[in-house]
Amino acid sequence: MNNHKLIQQALEVLPGGVNSPVRAFKAVGGEPIVLVKGRGCRVWDADGREYIDFLASWGPLILGHAHPKVVKAVKDEVERGLSFGLTNPHEVKLAQLVVEMVPSIEKVRFVNSGTEATMSAVRLARGVTGRKLVLKFDGCYHGHYDSLLVSAGSGVATFGIPGTPGIPEEIAGLTLVVPFNDEEAVRKAFSEHGEDIACVIVEPVAGNMGVVPPKEGFLKFLREITREYGSLLIFDEVITGFRLSTGGAQKLFEVEPDITCLGKILGGGMPVGAYGGSRELMSNVAPEGKVYQAGTLSGNPVAMVAGVETLKELRDKEPYDQLSDRAERVSKAVSDMLKDKGIAHRINRVGSMFTVFFTDREVYDFESAKSSDTELFGKFFRKLLEKGVLIPPAQFEAWFVSTAHEDEHIEEALSRIGDAIKEL
C-alpha cells in the first residue's frame, strides 16, 4: 500500500493518524510519510523513496538503523521468548553497563520510556524530600507527565499554567517555570520557595527547544543552589545520555546530579527508559524503600539486549570525537550554503546534535529560540524531504548524526541539502 493510502487509513483509526503528535507534520505542512525500512543512515518510505536520515528516530539510533550487532542480539533473544515478568540476566548486564558508564549512577531502575523515567524521578525526589514543588525550565521537555508538561507563565518564577487541558491547575501549580540559562530567575525562585522545592529538573543541554547549550557555569550553579536548599538536582539525559559522551552531559560538563533520567539511546531503538543515582538515594525505591514504582514489561529481555549491544559498542569504540567532527562538517556546510543564499540563521551544535534556527539572534533560551522563522523552517523541511533528506519535522528539535553517517554519505547529504537550499 502506498504512502497516501496508509495515511488516509491511519486518519480513520488513530487520532491525527499518529501515535505521537509531531509525526503528523502539523509544524511543517505537507502529508506525513510512512517509513517501512531503515539501514545505516538511510530510511525508505511506503512509496519506495529513500532518504538520508538525520531524525534517527528522535535520537536513539546513534549506531544507525538496523546495526548488525543489535539486530543479531534481538533476533537471538526473541527465539528464547518475549517476556517473563521476572528478572532476566540482561537487566543485570545493562544495569552494570549504565553504572560503569554514567558517573553519578550507582544503582538504576529500568522503565519503558523517557516519560516514565522523569515521572518516577520526580516522585522519588518528592518522596525523599517530603516537598511538593518542582522547578523546570521554559522550553525543556521531559515527556508528557502532568507535573512536567507545563510551559512558562509569563515573567520570572511564575507558577506554571498547564500546557494542555486535562492537567488540573492544582497539579500544574506545583511546578515553577523559569527561563533556561537564567541564574537570577532560579535564585529568585529559591529565595521565595526554596524550602518547598523538591527538585530542579533540567536537560543539561536542551534539545527540545532546538539545541541550546548551557551557559558557562550554569549547571555548576544549579548543583550548588540545590545543595544549599536541600533540593535534588535531576538531569534529564534522555537525549544527551550516551550521545554527548559515554557518560552523557554530566561527564562532559563534570557536574553530577542526584538523579539521572535516561531513555532513547539506552534502548538502542527499543522502548527503554531508566532513572538512577547513588546507592543511598536509590535505596528509597521499592522494594528497598517506600517510594513505589513498578512495570509489567520493565527490563524486557528483548529491549535489554538491544541496549546492551548499543552501550557496549559506544563504550568500546568511543565514537564521540568522530561524531562531533561529522556533525561539525554538516552544520558548517549548511551554514555556508544558507549564508551564500543570504538567509539569516544560527546553528547551535553540541557534539553530534544541532539545530538550524532561522534568526539573526543568539539562541540561549526558549524566548530567543522562538525568534526563528518557523514558516521558513517548514519550507526548508519540505524541500529537504523532496530532495531525499529527512530531518525532524518541527523547528524546536535536534538533528542527529550517527556512526552510520560516513564521509561519503555526508557528501551525498550535503549535495541534496545544497539542491534544497537553492530552491528556498
DSSP-assigned letter for residue 360: S
Closest approach, Cβ 118 to ligand PLP, in A, equals 6
Q: What is the DSSP letter of 393?
A: S
List binders of ligand PLP among 310-329 (CB under 6 A).
none
* Range 214-273, binding ligand PLP (CB under 6 A): 236, 238-239, 263, 273
Q: Is 136 in the site for ligand PLP (CB under 6 A)?
A: no
Nearest distance from C-beta of residue 101 to ligand PLP, angstroms:
18
Q: Where are the beta strands (DSSP E) in 280-417?
A: 346-350, 353-357, 389-390, 399-400
CB of 132 to ligand PLP, least distance (A): 21
Stretch that binds ligand PLP, among 29-37, 97-105, 180-188, 200-208 (CB under 6 A): 200-208
Task: Out of 107, 136, 264, 387, pick the active-site residue.
Answer: 264
Based on the residue annotation, tell me whether 141 is a catalytic residue of this protein: yes
Rank residues 323 and 417 by Cβ distance to ligand PLP and give the closer one: 323
To ligand PLP, the closest distance from the beta carbon of 172 in angstroms equals: 18
SS3 label, residue 215: coil
Indicate whether 203 belongs to the interface with ligand PLP (CB under 6 A). Answer: yes
Nearer to ligand PLP, 145 or 358 (CB): 145
Does 300 engage in binding with ligand PLP (CB under 6 A)? no
- Contacts for 186 with CB less than 8 Å, ≥ 6 apart: 135, 178, 200, 221, 222, 225
Per DSSP, what are the bridge partners of residue 177? 136, 158
What DSSP string runs through 252-286?
Answer: HHT---SEEEE-GGGGBTBS-EEEEE-HHHHTTBT
59-95 per-residue burial string, b: 16 or more CB within 10 A, e: under 16: bbbbbbbebeebeebbeebeeeeeeeeeebebbebbb
> Which is catalytic among the residues 182, 236, 258, 365?
236
Diameter over CA atoms, the chain: 60
264 as an active site residue: the answer is: yes
Alpha-carbon dihedral 74, 80, 85, 86, rounded to 10 degrees = -110
Q: For this structure, is 69 an active site residue?
A: no
Rounded to 5°, angle at Cα 115 from 112 and 121: 95
Nearer to ligand PLP, 127 or 143 (CB): 143
Site for ligand PLP in 99-118 (CB under 6 A): 113-115, 118
Active site positions, annotated: 141, 236, 264
Binding site for ligand PLP (CB under 6 A): 113-115, 118, 141-143, 203, 207-208, 236, 238-239, 263, 273
